[in-house]
Structure 1
Amino acid sequence: MPQLVTKPNNRQLAFDEIRISVYADRVLSGLDKLDKDRLIRGVTSKLRRDEVTGDEISNAFVMAALELVSKEEPDWKFAAARALLTSLYKKAATHRRYKSYADEPYGAFYPLITELVEKGIYRQELLDYYTKEQIDELGASILPKNDLLFDYIGLLTLSERYLANDFDGRVMELPQERYMIIAMYLMHQEPADKRMELVKEAYWAMSNMYMTAATPTMSNAGKKVAGQLSSCFIDTVDDSLEGIFDSNTDVARLSKMGGGIGVYLGKVRARGSDIRGHKNTSSGVIPWIRQLNNTAVSVDQLGTRKGAIAVYLDVFHKDILAFLDLKLNNGDERMRAHDVFHGVCLPDLFMEQVEARGEWNLFCPHEVKKVMGWKDENGRPLGLEDFYDESFGAGSFREKYEEASQHPILSRITVPAIDIMKRLMKSQLETGTPYMFYRDTVNRANPNRAHGMVYSSNLCTEIMQNQSPTVVEKEELVTKDGQTRIVISKIPGDFVVCNLNSIHLARAVPAGVLDRLVPIQVRMLDNVIDINNIEVLQAQYTNSQYRAVGLGTFGLHHLLALEGIRWESDEAVTYNDHLYEKINYLAVKSSMELAKEKGRYAKFEGSDWSTGHYFTSRGYTDGTREGKFVTSSEWSELAEEVKQNGIRNAWLFAIAPNGSTSIIAGSTASIDPLYELLSYEEKTTYKIANPAPDLNEKTIWYYKTAFLLDQHASINMASARQRHIDQGQSFNLYVRPDIKATEFLELHIHAWKSGMKSTYYVRSRALTIEECESCAS
């Protein structure tokens, strides 16, 4: 045993075995099945023989507990979290100069805010909008006991990535304070008479882990940093030199702020097309994608990681074959872009031709506009990309495609549709991408189709909102008051902004809090729109016009396991249908109530919300598809209320991947199945075992893992959800490396026919897969 313990103030005390025992009791409080003696033996084996610091004792408890984590005893991950908590409490107390006690581990809240505002770490608004008395009241509302909800990896992730440190990297902010600061900042512009109530409600939602904010909000809300609160953006590139380079600049500006970017390139002319009448001069989209690739690498996200950019192209674009090979590791490196992700936009007609083994024509969008002469009501030229099947007030895509295919002058490349699909699937198995974006399905279901077109999606394939390119109108020298300036005039396009947060299904549903939870989540998302300051002005403008948000979910497999529902069952499909209908109903109702309070979004008139088509097209009001939790009469009443009062947000529902935030909450990611019963997080010198959430003798039978599940069952559940999701869902396919081409194709055909709007990564691992423990007898 050590002889001495050195405290943070360099005081030395005699090592006391009784205090180790008391510490162990605190770490194991409520974890009755865990063996205290095993923990203490592990701790003492890690302590030096002469003297140790208090921090070394805490770390010894962490490591000893982590070494005991197993599928049989998963709760050791909570013991390790409590040891880490003790270390955080002590460090914060030392750096903030207060005494921390086991029953009162948090210091005063007001001094924390004043100190960090003064240091330039917190934003001044926290003091401008809240009095000392109010901050003291909010500090008294903080619940340190909710820190016990974290498992080790969740708490470690939160502490390393999200908690506020000072400029010397010292711990200042504790977990519950982070949640309260987020709540205060998101609600600071609310009316003074209701602000405090709303702050407490938002804190309740986050502190109890009924929901998580998206990573940018979690990390940046209330902090005086360069980052912003929105998760990702989508740009549509104009077919002009100015448009292409301006887009690259905009992408760089957003990427440095931590945003994920989607870029639609379907309007850019193909390789070999003419430029100003000069034949065969265009280099096509690939060189511009390589420019974006360089931007992703060179403009990192606040110094933490390289930028994240996804590029999308239509399957009828002449450059599609080169585009599909973008990320392959062989071939001409001048035609590769390894640091971006890519997605393909697919019309129904192409999928039909794949099934029929028919031919497919590829066109240059610039030539189509020049030769075909299609125009919109304002006389602007249109290309094939501007149509979809059952287009709102226009011809359908298949009509326009056939017209273009029969035109005697318009050039085209004709290839078997199945050959394109083979190239696509080959890339997916090798690289995980391209993503699939089913453009007809998306646009038919778009509640704002009267106001625009959805060409592509975002970095994670769940955001689907109206898009259009920003166009440079003119550039001129202007002299005023003796000063000459260059003034550039642009017509802003619809530049999509994603504002996200997510419901923790495995906590919120069993607790029965959805009715209370969803309204505060929608309000939090709506407030992000007003608070956020986006450098790219067309994005700021689009955000204000549509006020789009994306309420999401995570912990689906966790919830199904708790409910005793097998993933590969009709019961799971039905459960998804009813649950997501309820969430959608609550989201629409919450947005309608906000519209009554704050006003409808600017482009409400003419939308499917205003006409009622949104409700009738989904079978909500006619009694043919009565839900378990929401009746047709309730939907009809809500549809009438929306017609009368409007709705605050043009889009409401989108399921993001939730990688980091689901880890913090200790649950399964998004709508994904569990990857492994026992996974490992690699650190520099050790591995952290991470068992499935709430793993026990009951739930293990419902935790069949991703690569062992029938992917058709996953598609069936996603299809049931999709009816209720006005945007999309980040849906991954998990396939074995030896999957047959016909089986792989069947999955894509099934996803398309089932009404899914997109698929995200194709995940494959070339490893021997052990027998499913959840299925073993």
Structure 2
Amino acid sequence: MQNTLNTVSAASAGNALHSPSTHQGQAQASLFSDYQILRRNGAVVPFAPSKIAVAVMKAFLAVHGTQGAASASIRETVDELTQTVVRALMRSRPGGGTFHIEDVQDQVELGLMRGGHHEIARAYVLYREKRTQERTQERARTPQAAAVPLLHVTDKGQRVALDIRNLQALIEASCANLGAGVVAAPIVSETMRNLYDGVPIDEVYKAAILAARTLIEKDPDYTYATARLLMHTIRREVLGEEVDHAHMQTRYAAYFPEFIAKGVANELLDEKLASFDLARLGAALKPERDLQFDYLGLQTLFDRYFLHVRKLRIELPQAFFMRVAMGLSLNESDREARAIEFYELLSSFDFMSSTPTLFNSGTRRAQLSSCYLTTVADDLGGIYDAIKENALLSKFAGGLGNDWTPVRALGAHIKGTNGESQGVVPFLKVVNDTAVAVNQGGKRKGAVCAYLETWHLDIEEFLELRKNTGDDRRRTHDMNTANWIPDLFMRRVMEKGSWTLFSPNDTPDLHDKYGREFEAIYTAYEERAERGELKPSRKLQATDMWRKMLSMLFETGHPWITFKDVCNIRSPQQHVGVVHSSNLCTEITLNTSETETAVCNLGSINLVQHLMDGPDGQRMLDSKKLQKTITTAMRMLDNVIDINYYAVKKARDSNMLHRPVGLGLMGFQDCLYELRVPYASQAAVDFADTSMEAICYHAYWASTELAKERGKYQTYEGSLWDKGILPYDTMDMLAKERGGYVEVDRSMTLDWDALRAKIARDGMRNSNCVAIAPTATISNIIGVDACIEPCFGNLSVKSNLSGEFTVINGYLVRDLKRLGLWDDVMVVDLKHFDGSLRPIDRVPPEIKALYATAFEVETSWIVEAAARRQKWIDQAQSLNIYMAGASGKKLDETYKLAWLRGLKTTYYLRTMSATHAEKSTVQAGKMNAVSSGSATAASTASSAPSALDLAAAAALVQMSASPATDIKFCAIDDPGCEACQ
């Protein structure tokens, strides 16, 4: 092995990468000019990806020989592996930096393992081990060298000696009070290993952060040490000097008015913020809350949320939360008191506003709303007006849901030209490209979901929009799609009946009808079609259509399954309109029309922050704190409606009329850990029920209190609220309309009659109050599991625009430490088995049950828990369906169960093959992201740290693995998207 690697020429190996032209070479050099390699002898050299290709090709040559490695497939494989390694390295240091040669080799090793090249990886590991031994022997033969010279750093243009004591003190302070498992020594050692003489001082602090983050998989509390080191760097950038945490109380107070003044002067902040009592607000900031962040949360805020001037941040975390709070308090009578109240809620992590609110609150263009829903008219002007609206709303960070059902189908007659329509699909291609072209303020990709009803004649082609085969002009690779399914279709599926497709210009009243009224009109149209009076139309078996819907969902992840009738029958606003679609993430169910664009403002309670110790020592829901949090959160959400910037008049008009908001939750899985309740259990279903009942009860109560103070929303009269019908009561209405087919537990624990009487007396401030959004990013900020999701993996890597982050389940590590089971072998096992405990024999069964990952939770439990929540919610919930061992039968049963249990919508289907579920691996799952062309691979195992010992690496290599390309992920996980929250 060694001889082969040493004798193959670099020129031969270099063929692994396509030889660049001079121009391409210059471009590549420019691309990597901010990166360097630190060699073992301390020398610093330019980063050259071609050398990685050489190393990878040498490894293949060593195993396959010269002839075997000369094949085109091997060269392509080496090229791909090299690109994978380079991408991983650059993601770890998105702003440039220095890689130690060992870090590069670790990534090569990991790339070989993840690519399934286990024989090559094993040879590479053994080669590295042999070279290490040779270097050790060489040092032993060499006389003792002179003392290592003092390291110098470059600081503000000056070359000065590195203050090692100061660096060590900083690292020790970052590890303070984080438990016995978090110590400074390995961070110091790894940091020093990555330094070289003359290194910029910023690189020194970056090296410390990178050193700390590699240890997170050893002990999850290292994430807080890493965050504190990052916090030190942020303070240096924002304040222009080093300030330790002990002095931040006084420094925050002095800095805060300066920050507001700078933000206003640079036209970033609304000048109204300068008129607040800034001294009072600055004194209210709590610097100790800077220590709550884990590394992923703080890095995400720093990279994407903090305001900056000429690419230098001007915002610190507590100033950020206060700025958001001030922006939401602009219209309050006692602005300072309310700003402090809102700040307390945000900075404590008890509640978090959605990303658009965090981005824009207090700024000069305060677009704070999350979701916009539109209906597209059936004429050319209406269609392009809708596309223009999409662009304007997307520009300011809005997620979009479009109802395309009114647009006539392919082959339908066009009176104005006496021609035939091209149908919906060509326009959806334009929508797709608009979403790509207009990103959300340069902060994240635009994102849109198109909805179409199941009776639309274009539905079959609509189902195939996300396929990677066929005419690309009739494909939309960058947008989402969803089926808007009437109950009649589901009954026809259940009863194995027929189904007829129509063009909406021939059946215009179907769009606005639902329930029994829809059925009567639809069957009349079917009779006309049978007589040949309606053309074009098409008759087929409902089960055939259902099978194709599920097949496409499994194959492409789209279109999602959502249910029209339950969204309308249970809507409080059915007296003034129809719900024609949901939104981008399927949790919003508001009326739309050609004259109304629905808007929803989101924020989520951190549920795990609302647990307390019960009288028996068991954890339980703290109802009093929950009520207090929700009262303030609902006020914040209601304020958004009046303060919000509306890019489209139809959106403003609609929002002012109905004032809907969407209060959600996150950290549900964290609560189950605290309660010691497995997700796959009746106890978890019961907790989903009682916790959601409490949230909804307090949210509706808070809205009626706001109505008492501020007045009812304009369209209150005639609403279900006005009639004394609460969301829970609408389950009876649904059962009546369906004639059965509703099977939901109807138990309750709170005094809903008291709430009913309160609403009758004071009315409601908001037409809708509750919706469970995905919380993809805001849950990262506060460090909990997203919304109502089960844990995806106990040891995983999250990828977003800030890079890749090792995330490990702190609750699990706590339990394994208690049992004496947490060690390096457990880390390697968790990596190998994708964060799953199931195959690890030494872990007790009760621990495996409690920490079962999403694909180990039987899908029916996810649906049952969602059904219990849905009976209380006036809107819907963003519900991902996880399914191991997916089959047509299982898909059929799952989505029929969702309908029978009264769910309004479902979101992404995430599937894993039975063989993969049996034997999880470190192989990355491919994401079924919004863009199939740019879907980003994400590992469900941690990146290998530079400190990983070679014996463990060799063990990993020898384990068999299979790719998990069938795991389907949503765009939330795509580093280029995070479109919802």
Give the TM-score, by structure 2 length: 0.70
Aligned counterpart in structure 1 of residue 326 of structure 2, from 184, 196, 200: 184
Matched, 1:37 2:191: no
Matched, 1:594 2:706: yes
Aligned to 1:582: 694
1:556 aligns with 2:668: yes
Is it true that 1:144 corresponds to 2:290 in the alignment? Answer: no
Alignment partner, residue 521 of structure 2 = 400
Quote the Cα distance in structure 2 between the aligned partners of 1:254 and 1:684.
Answer: 22
SS of 1:362's equivalent in the other structure is strand
- Structure-1 residue corresponding to 2:24: none
- Change in 2 beyond 3 A, CA 1:695/1:164: farther
SS at match of 1:273: strand
Distance of 2:396 and 2:245 partners within structure 1: 39
CA–CA distance in 1 between the matches of 2:694 and 2:391? Answer: 39
Residue in structure 2 matching 1:47, options 187, 190, 195: 195
Paired position in structure 2 for 1:490: none
CA distance, structure 1, for counterparts of residue 801 and residue 150 of structure 2: 30
Aligned residue identity for 1:318: L
Residue equivalent to 1:648: 765
Aligned match of 2:568 in 443, 447, 451? Answer: 443
Q: Decide whether the 8 Å contact of 2:680 with 2:858 is kept in 1.
A: yes
Q: 1:242 and 2:368 equivalent?
A: no
Among 336, 351, 356, the alignment partner of 1:216 is: 356
* Structure 1 segment 511-660 matched on structure 2, within 5 A: 512=622, 513-614=625-726, 617=729, 627-628=748-749, 630=750, 632=751, 635-660=752-777
Query: Secondary structure of the residue that 2:482 maps to in structure 1?
Result: strand
Structure number having the greater helix percentage: 2
**1:280: Cα distance to partner?**
5.8
Q: 1 CA distance for matches of 2:671 and 2:384?
A: 46
Pairs within 5 Å for 1:697-736: 697-698=814-815, 701=848, 702-736=850-884
- 1:2-37 deviations in whole A, cap 9, x for unaligned? 735547544555434332332222111111222332
Structure 1 stretch 570-579 or stretch 426-435: which is displaced more?
426-435
Displacement of 1:356 after TM fit?
Answer: 2.5
CA distance in 1: counterparts of 2:548 and 2:228, whole angstroms = 50
The one-letter code of the counterpart of 1:213 is S
Cα distance in 2 for partners of 1:84, 1:594 equals 41
Q: Within 2, Cα distance between the matches of 1:612 and 1:771?
A: 53
2:911 counterpart letter in structure 1 = S
SS at the partner of 1:272?
strand
Residues 6 and 93 of structure 1: is their aligned pair in 2 closer, same or farther, counting only changes over 3 Å? farther
- The root-mean-square deviation of aligned C-alpha atoms, in Å, is 2.3
Map 1:335-346 to 2 at 5 A. Answer: 335-346=474-485
**In 2, distance between residues paired with 1:685 and 1:141?**
30
Q: Could you tell me whether the CA contact under 8 Å between 1:368 and 1:410 is conserved in 2?
A: no
Deviation at 1:744, TM superposition (A): 1.0
1:198 correspondence with 2:341? no
Deviation string 1:403-433 (CA, Å, 9 cap, x unpaired) is: 1111232232101112212221122122211
User: Match of 1:114, as an amino acid?
Assistant: A
Deviations for 1:368-416, whole angstroms, at most 9, x for unmatched residues?
Answer: 24xxxxxxxxxxxxx11211115xxxxx221221111112322321011
| Structure 1 CA distance for aligned equivalents of residues 804 and 648 of structure 2 | 42
Residues 267-288 of structure 1 deviation map (CA, whole Å, 9 limit, x = unaligned): 1111111122776611111112
Match of residue 368 from structure 2: 229
Kindly tell me the number of residue pairs found equivalent between the two proteins: 711
* Per-residue deviation, 1:725: 0.9
Work out the CA distance in 2 between the residues paired with 1:172 and 1:619: 51
The share of aligned pairs that are identical, in percent, is: 34
Displacement of 1:262:
0.8
1:502 paired residue number: 604
Residue matched to 2:428 = 289
Q: Aligned equivalents of 1:9 and 1:425: distance in 2?
A: 61
- Using a 3 Å threshold, how does the CA distance of structure 1 residues 579 and 685 change in structure 2: closer, same or farther? closer
- For 2:888, the equivalent position in structure 1 comes to 741
CA contact (8 A) 1:4 1:12 kept: no
What does 1:37-76 correspond to in 2, within 5 Å? 37-48=185-196, 50-70=197-217, 73-76=219-222
Distance of 1:399 and 1:755 partners within structure 2: 22
Indicate if the aligned counterparts of 2:605 and 2:664 stay in contact, CA closer than 8 A.
Answer: yes
CA offsets 1:307-358 (integer angstroms, 9 cap, x no match): 2111100001111111111111112223212222101111112112222222
TM-score, with length taken from structure 1: 0.88
Residue deviations 1:103-141 (CA, integer Å, cap 9, x gap): 12344211111122111121111013x1xxx21111111
For residues 523 and 579 of structure 1, the distance between their equivalents in structure 2, rounded to whole angstroms, comes to 21
Paired residues of 2:601 and 2:641 also in contact (CA < 8 A): yes
Conservation of the 8 A alpha-carbon contact between 1:600 and 1:646: yes
Q: 2:501 aligns with which of 355, 362, 372?
A: 362
Q: Which stretch of structure 1 is more off in the superposition, 314-323 or 107-116?
A: 107-116
Provide the C-alpha distance between the structure 2 equivalents of 1:684 and 1:164, rounded to a whole number of angstroms: 16
Please name the residue that 2:274 is paired with.
127
Distance in structure 2 (CA, Å) of the matches to 1:102 and 1:264: 51
Pick the structure with greater CA Rg.
2
Unpaired runs of 5+ in structure 2? 1-147, 613-620, 733-744, 817-846, 922-981
From 391, 394, 408, the counterpart of 1:255: 394
Relative distance call for 1:685 and 1:274 in structure 2 (3 A) is: closer
Write out per-residue CA displacement over residues 538-597 of structure 1, whole angstroms, 9 at most, x where no aligned residue: 111001000110001111111111111111111111111111111001111111111111
Asked whether the 8 Å contact 1:66–1:80 carries over to 2, the reply is yes
Q: Which residue of 1 aligns with 2:514?
A: 388
Checking the alignment, whether the CA contact within 8 Å between 2:512 and 2:578 is kept in structure 1 is: yes
Which residue identity lines up with residue 405 of structure 1 in the other structure?
Answer: E
Find the counterpart in structure 1 of residue 534 from structure 2. Answer: 410
The answer (yes or no) to whether the contact 1:615–1:639 under 8 Å persists in 2 is no
Q: In 2 relative to 1, CA 693–189 (structure 1 residues): closer, same or farther, beyond 3 Å?
A: farther
Q: Which amino acid aligns with 1:20?
A: L
Residues 231-259 of structure 1: CA deviation (Å, up to 9, x unaligned): 12011011122211211111111112221
Between stretches 425-434 and 148-157, larger displacement belongs to 425-434
Distance 2:242 2:475 in 1: 58
Residue aligning to 1:380 = none
Q: Letter of the 2:336 partner, please give it.
A: M
Q: Which of 794, 798, 813 matches 1:696?
A: 813
2:544 to 419, 423, 426: 419
Counterpart in 2 of 1:434? 559
